[in-house]
Amino acid sequence: MRIGVSTCLLGDNVRYDGGHKLDHFIRDVLGLLVEFVPVCPEFEAGFGIPREALRLVGDPASPRMITQKSGVDVTDRMKAWIDGRLRELGKLDLCGFIFKSNSPSSGMERVKVYDGRGNARKVGSGLFAAAFMERFPVVPVEEEGRLHDIHLRENFIVRVFALRRWKDLRSVGGGRRELMSFHARHKYLLMAHSPSMLKKMGILVAHAKETPKGELMDRYESLFMEALRLRATVRKNVNVLTHMAGYFKKLLDPGDKGELLEVIDQYGRELI
């Protein structure tokens, strides 16, 4: 399973100052589970190491990339490289991407964008990151700093592995029957993230025969990944556990049933 990653996060000295930004969790923990595809836009686009620092200038929705000291506009050069690199990445079946925060090329969000007077606002995205997210909207993305939050980390990893399972289904030509099985297996995971999205997906699956296969699979994929982007919470997990406990009501005696419900209640009150 492949995940794209900003090269400097793996400890490679590719930053503008010749340094790196090694993240031990990414390289040493997550790296045991996935195959990384390193990407450094500024180095791969031929700007060298070390190099003049870059910044984003102008309209946050469509900024220009400018060298910080000499004021050279390198936007077109970077965008030409991005277009080619995205075509290459599209062939690698990526299941996620981890971007370097604050980078004018790779920052996912809150990247500084300067106005004509040199004032900066954290309102932009790096040119490469923005293009990647537009080209591959269902692929999970995160920044290294946000992965230090255990809840965001869990959500990202859940989405990465879920997308891999979905891609495996599509790669073997799975149809409506396989989709129903996939949906049933993921019912409670989806419920933990978004009961409302689960309901919407259930309607789509129930009327699967009314939709052309390709359109059906594309719509389900979009809803599936959109649902998992929403964070699972203790409250939603309690809802899931209560639903699952219902399957055991005829198998448990009153004492065991009461103990199970008590444990779920304690979890809901965050006592365990």
| Interval 13-23: pLDDT, tens | 999 999 999 99
CA 32 to chain centre: 18
Q: What is the pLDDT of residue 126?
A: 98
Instruction: Please report the DSSP string for 59-81 in residue order.
Output: -TTSPEEEETTT--B-HHHHHHH
Say whether pLDDT at 129 is over 90.
yes
Conformation bin of residue 143: beta by default, left when phi > 0, alpha when psi is -120 to 50: beta
Sheet of strand 64-67: strand arrangement: 64-67, 54-57, 111-114, 120-124
| Interval 178-189: pLDDT, tens | 999 999 999 999
Q: What is the pLDDT of residue 60?
A: 94
Say whether pLDDT at 46 is over 90.
yes
| Three-state secondary structure string covering 172-236 | CCCCHHHHHHHHHHCHHHHHHHCHHHHHHHHHHHHCHHHCCHHHHHHHHHHHHHHHHHCCCCHHH
- In 68-134, which ranges are E strands? 97-99, 111-114, 120-124
- Provide the whole-model pTM: 0.93
Contact between 140 and 159 under an 8 Å Cβ cutoff? The reply is: yes
CA distance 117 to 59: 13
Lowest-confidence region among 85-99, 124-138, 246-260: 246-260
Annotated domain spans of the chain: 2-147, 234-268
| Interval 209-244: pLDDT, tens | 999 999 999 999 999 999 999 999 999 999 999 999
Other beta carbons within 10 Å of 149 = 12
Q: DSSP code of 36?
A: E
The mean of the pLDDT values for the chain is 96
Q: What is the pLDDT of residue 249?
A: 84
Q: Residue 66: pLDDT band by 50, 70, 90 thresholds?
A: very high
CA distance 46 to 48: 5
Cα angle 57, 144, 102 (rounded to 5 degrees) comes to 15
